[in-house]
Amino acid sequence: MMFSFRLNQGFTLIELIVVITLISLMLFFVIPRFQVDVLSDDTNKVSRWIMLKVHSLKQKAVREQKLYVLHISLDSNRLWVTSEIMSQEELQAAEVNGYELSDNINLLDVEYPDEEKISAGRADIYFYKKGYSDKAIIHISNDDNERRSFLIEPFLSHVRLYDKYIGFED
């Protein structure tokens, strides 16, 4: 009498392909929805824009040996960049084509050390040829009264983000 035993030593290739295909299909439908819900928040868009722009301006100023200025219009809720060699027409075009914040995001003020806060008009942050910048804090808020502060350090290439309103005295 012969006995035939089948030892269960794992999954077949077909079973693995079916499971991987099902997981892939679920991810195909879930990831785009996740990106829309989580990553498209206006506050996060503005935060990414400010952080990336400051970082790139510091690098660009050194690489091109030009003075760059990040202009912040607190009245029109707009940010734009100019350089020292732009013509008058280019300066005006840069302002018109600047980054306009959405209606639910407000620029509150810009703070410099040992100076008063600028809460109306325009504030300028300079990025110098030698690789440093002005020290400043940009404050924003959204309709939910969530506030963020962006600390720009003169000699650091990145921006420190705080999920609250901070000042230099903090």
Q: What contacts 153, CB < 8 A, 6 or more positions away?
A: 135, 159, 160
Fold classification of 42-162 is: minor pseudopilin epsh fold (3.55.40)
Pairing of strands 105-111, 136-142: antiparallel
Helix (H, G, I), strand (E, B) or coil at 69: strand
pTM score of the predicted model: 0.75
pLDDT, residue 130, reads 93
> Which bin fits 121, alpha (ψ -120 to 50), beta or left (φ > 0)?
left
Dist CA 129 CA 36 (whole Å): 39
Per-residue pLDDT of the chain (170 residues; tens, 9 = 90+): 555 555 667 778 898 899 999 988 888 777 766 555 544 578 888 999 999 999 999 999 999 999 999 999 999 999 999 999 999 999 999 999 999 998 899 999 999 998 889 999 999 999 999 999 999 999 999 988 899 999 999 999 889 999 999 998 86
pLDDT, residue 39, reads 44
Break the chain into its structural domains and give their ranges. 42-162
> Which residue's structure tokens are 């506030």?
147
